[in-house]
Amino acid sequence: MRTRARSLLPLAVAGVLLTACGESGSSGSSGAGASATASGDACAPVAGDQLVVLEDDQQLQNADNVVPAVNMATAQANPALLPALDAVSAAMTTAELIELNGAVDLQRQNAEDVAAAWVEENVDAAALQQGSGPIVVGGANFTESTILADVYADVLTAAGFDASVREVGNRELYLPALISGSEIQVFPEYLSTATEFLNRQVNGSTAEPVASGDVQATLTALRPLAEQVGLVFGRPSEAADQNAFAVTRAFADELGVSTLSELADACGDGSLVLGGPTECPDRPFCQPGLEETYGLQFAEFRELDAGGPLTKAALQQGEVSIGLVFSSDGALAQ
């Protein structure tokens, strides 16, 4: 039976170290109290309960796909380990990750139960190569990481390992433990964030970025960096947790748009109202990126939060046309 170990690592602020829009900075915004008045009726905000992410079809955001990170010595000693984790990546999509997060955050289901049900439905346990021995999967103390750690542990258990989950702190704390293999041997990571973290660790704090919106190119850049510190990374899943831009379904349906490029074509008159964190007007993956990559222009920026309740409420209430969210947020569940 799989067990959940208590944390041996100091806890700290958890979660993905999101880049660009999530960084601190200053804003030239109009402020959260400003009224949302668009210059064109066609692209004015449309209220609605259901939010949808517009596809980032020109890869403005870096590819932060979920990817298994494994202590190299552990992987070499256990040849069945990576194939089992890759079976998770082969089956996990962003839509499914949204549903898993929604089940825990919104429906208040138990993360272990949600993970176990997903594994039973999506992974063919009989087809897994069999291994043995204890494996500890680390999970940061936020919902998505906990669910993914449980998914990994359940699949490893099905593959014959004695798998347990240990809650850990942030990347500065858990990565050294993963590299040493002394407390955790497996962790559900995020492709571009892990790549840039290791890039700075190996090449210095001023190293040129090597991650991009191209999953395969980023993985190619990551693997030699990982090898230098004693890690291996498996197959990235389709599931990604990264900066994204959402509108209400009513707004998307009214305009017939599903991508950011289509939005730019439909709303090129500068009538959109953008909502996001204070630093959005200054961050390349937020307002400047939307303007430079897609040619979008905005009538107004509303200072809200980084993918949090203020932004989602402003979208739902028809106060902003488009807002920064995170692509696997449980609030996006159908």
Q: Please report the pLDDT score of residue 32 as a whole number.
A: 35
Domains and CATH numbers, the chain: 3-12+63-233 (3.10.105.10), 31-61+242-332 (3.40.190.120)
Q: Please report the pLDDT score of residue 268 as a whole number.
A: 79
Q: Please report the pLDDT score of residue 2 as a whole number.
A: 54
Q: Please report the pLDDT score of residue 19 as a whole number.
A: 40
pTM: 0.86
Q: Are 242 and 15 in contact (CB under 8 A)?
A: no
The Cβ of residue 114 has, within 10 Å, a number of other Cβ atoms equal to 22
Model pLDDT for residues 24-64, shown as the tens digit of each residue: 232 333 333 333 333 357 789 999 999 999 999 999 999 99
Q: Alpha-carbon distance 176 to 60, whole Å? A: 30
Alpha helices in 159-241 (DSSP H): 171-180, 191-203, 215-229
Query: Which residue bears the tokens 């109290």?
Result: 33
Q: Are 226 and 200 in contact (CB under 8 A)?
A: no
Residue ranges, the chain, pLDDT below 50 = 1, 3, 6-39
What is the identity of the amino acid at 92? M
Task: Give the phi and the psi of residue 206 in degrees, each rounded to 5.
Answer: -100, 15
Q: Are 181 and 229 in contact (CB under 8 A)?
A: no
Q: Alpha-carbon distance 126 to 208, whole Å? A: 44
Q: Alpha-carbon distance 52 to 244, whole Å? A: 10
Q: Please report the pLDDT score of residue 169 as a whole number.
A: 85
